[in-house]
Structure 1
């Protein structure tokens, strides 16, 4: 266990295992603990860095409005601690948005990138089929954010889980630790949505690079997330896709063995081609 100072913020991180460098980036509301089901398996193959993003759990929560750009710069700094060469990154949800945003600007930092269901709403803003659904999603998100602003943290967290991310009844199925983590990190979720660029991505710039990208989604996730991953796969010539059958927004938790197999298989393909 360690605390590392990067970009003026103390971040909690752990480094395990030996081999090629791999950084795991968690999504909103969560922390490094969400990677526990796959951590030992990855540590047998990689030198793994897992951390709490700024504002989450054991990392410092700086005052003032934050931005995804700051998260991207934090990721870049942590990647540099693993050595001077490029790094593999596996990222989930908002962590996937963060990793993609950094890859668009700093492709030389990446050997390969695996992203699962980044909530990049702006990527599908022009999709006429999805427009009614996206209007509904944004309305639900607005209600969640209003509840968090009003101090109704439990109501907001539960609504996010059941109406946006996982589905009805899923709040009660979560372990106590997972619910506690959601409540702890709710203020950072609210802060993330104060950043006007939180859902944006420069697809054209990213498509101009050669970083290998694996874009994944789960069959039980909301349709709008699937459409975002499909748009990313269509737009990025260097990308390929994988579907986690029977899994949703956190396949490294619900299908850990498959997640490890898919990620390590992707890395082996990169090694063979390189």
Structure 2
């Protein structure tokens, strides 16, 4: 049997990636941190200086950031924190309707519980929305923020140039929600992943078995999030009063709605730094780990 160079390279990178992830997990075991009414699953790498706190998006858990965190841990000595948001994986499940304000409160309490006065907050997808609200509501705790494609679709509302993108996303989200509510868990999950978030064929091409299993198990939390009356109550223009640096990461191969959001955020925020990752989509933190880590490193350096 003959394997192409690309396949051999991909297999080698996959093995190396698995080893790196296992190494980071072994050195920083998952444990629970109580924040009052909930326990959050946390991985905490100790270090010196201002901590870096990663916030994952919907469906997945802290593992979505683990490869990027490992790379950063080899280049800087800052403390690094990854955690499962309430309702995800190891953390306390939702017992009633959750809100984005609750997610922000959990993040503030976790940061304080770990003994930190300030942190660099890095969010992906809905986790980036949480980081934006954190920075506007609690600017005193955020040293800087990095946002990987926040789905702040509200900034596109009533803008005719984005009508097509908004219609496509709204239709796909409605279909996904309907399927999930009828019990079609896998079909509804894949509908969202491929039509709203990561693009065609991403279910199999971007994610591994662990991620797919986690997503299927997280559908109730996403349904809860979709019913949150506060989820659209985010005002990115308030970040103009934020004193720390703001970095927006965008993939050049993302579905059209995310570059559209990025363009509007650039128009609303005076000092935002935009970093594009060539060839990456909404899942660039998984598919383009080195490039994502480098963009974050540059952001941290610019904040000094």
Contact 1:38–1:256 (CA under 8 A) maintained in structure 2: yes
Residue 265 of structure 1: SS of its match in structure 2?
helix
Structure 1 residue 185: Cα displacement: 0.8
Residue 280 of structure 2: SS of its match in structure 1?
coil
* In structure 1, C-alpha distance between the alignment counterparts of 2:81 and 2:45, rounded to whole Å: 7
Corresponding residue of 2:21: none
1:106 pairs with 2:132: no
* In structure 2, C-alpha distance between the alignment counterparts of 1:36 and 1:128, rounded to whole Å: 39
Residue 161 of structure 2: SS of its match in structure 1?
coil
Contact 1:119–1:199 (CA under 8 A) maintained in structure 2: no
Query: How many residues get paired?
Result: 271
1:34 pairs with 2:64: yes
Residue number among 41, 45, 54 corresponding to 1:12 in the alignment: 41
Deviations, residues 58-104 of structure 1 (Å, cap 9, x unaligned): 11112111111100111111222343432101110000000101111
1:56 pairs with 2:88: yes
* Structure 1 unmatched runs, 5+: none
Corresponding residue of 1:203: 236
Corresponding residue of 1:180: 213
Contact 2:104–2:130 (CA under 8 A) maintained in structure 1: yes
Residue 218 of structure 2: SS of its match in structure 1?
helix
Residue number among 72, 75, 78 corresponding to 2:104 in the alignment: 72
* In structure 1, C-alpha distance between the alignment counterparts of 2:171 and 2:291, rounded to whole Å: 34
Structure 1 residue 7: Cα displacement: 4.4
Contact 2:123–2:131 (CA under 8 A) maintained in structure 1: yes
- Pair member with larger Rg: 2
Structure 1 residue 136: Cα displacement: 2.2
* In structure 1, C-alpha distance between the alignment counterparts of 2:97 and 2:190, rounded to whole Å: 24
RMSD: 1.4
Contact 1:3–1:13 (CA under 8 A) maintained in structure 2: yes
* In structure 1, C-alpha distance between the alignment counterparts of 2:230 and 2:253, rounded to whole Å: 27
Residue number among 110, 116, 121 corresponding to 2:148 in the alignment: 116
Residue 177 of structure 2: SS of its match in structure 1?
helix
* Structure 2 unmatched runs, 5+: 1-29
Deviations, residues 80-134 of structure 1 (Å, cap 9, x unaligned): 2343432101110000000101111111111110001111111211321112320
* In structure 2, C-alpha distance between the alignment counterparts of 1:64 and 1:29, rounded to whole Å: 18
Structure 1 residue 232: Cα displacement: 1.5
Corresponding residue of 1:24: 54
Residue 129 of structure 1: SS of its match in structure 2?
helix
1:191 pairs with 2:224: yes
Contact 2:35–2:113 (CA under 8 A) maintained in structure 1: no
* In structure 2, C-alpha distance between the alignment counterparts of 1:38 and 1:206, rounded to whole Å: 25
